[in-house]
Amino acid sequence: MPYFGLNALPVVRFPSGSGMDQVDIRPRQDRPRGDTANDIHTKDSARAGLSVTATSGALVGPPWQQRENGYILRSMTDQESNDEELVSNYIEPHVEFDAQELSELGPVDAVITPCSGMGLPGFELVHGPDETIKLLNILRPRWVLPMANGDIDASGLLSPYINEIKGSEVDLYGISDEPSWNGRRITIIPVVPGESIQLSHDI
């Protein structure tokens, strides 16, 4: 089904994606790290608005290439809404981050991140649970939505050498038994492709 407002659809992307203009979509918003877009909103909504902050992400490609972005998404509200009901989310699919940067941007309510990694001998393509624990200690979320990056069926010449990375000293799922930093327990929410998940401060 065509989207009839396509020419007005805001596109937030990492700067290195600026050459991927197969479709003429405007206005574009290239987000340098640490920059925030605050003008994404639905005027008729009681909780109108979405704040998108770009964060340091993964280095995908040669060392001189600019890093990809992670993102922190925060609901914005008008003065009549209750700020405590709003939910903030962080997502970055490789568990690569700048700890100092995130410590200044956190905490968030939910983190979408791999809970197991994958890699080649001597090189991690996606970091494993040890790095995820560090991330959670910085962002102090209430919910964790795992990305199954390590659960793949690979083919090709290198496929026999790709393996799943699991935690050596930490059990990611063990954190659900520990009190969180805000006095509540961290909840790890299973994610099923195609099924919606609703996060609420009531749960």
Indicate whether 195 belongs to any domain: no
pLDDT of res. 84:
53
Long-range contacts, 76-83 (Cβ 8 Å, 24+)? 76/38, 76/41, 76/47, 76/48, 76/49, 76/50, 76/51, 77/47, 77/48, 77/49, 78/46, 78/47, 78/48, 80/46, 81/46, 81/47
Residues 169-199 have pLDDT tens digits of 445 666 655 655 656 678 888 888 888 888 7
**Based on the structure, what is the number of domains in the chain?**
1
- Pick from 24, 28, 22: which is nearest to 40 by CA? 28
pLDDT of res. 77:
63
Residues 1-26 have pLDDT tens digits of 444 455 555 666 665 655 544 433 33
pLDDT of res. 176:
59
Indicate whether 44 belongs to any domain: yes
Residues 77-120 have pLDDT tens digits of 654 555 555 689 999 888 889 999 999 988 999 999 887 766 66
What pTM did the predictor assign?
0.71
pLDDT of res. 16:
62
How far is it, in rounded angstroms, from Cα 136 to Cα 85?
A: 21
Indicate whether 200 belongs to any domain: no
Indicate whether 183 belongs to any domain: yes
Indicate whether 152 belongs to any domain: yes
Indicate whether 137 belongs to any domain: yes
Residue 30 lies in domain: 6-188
Q: Range with the lowest mean pLDDT among 43-52, 59-68, 158-167?
A: 43-52
pLDDT of res. 110:
93
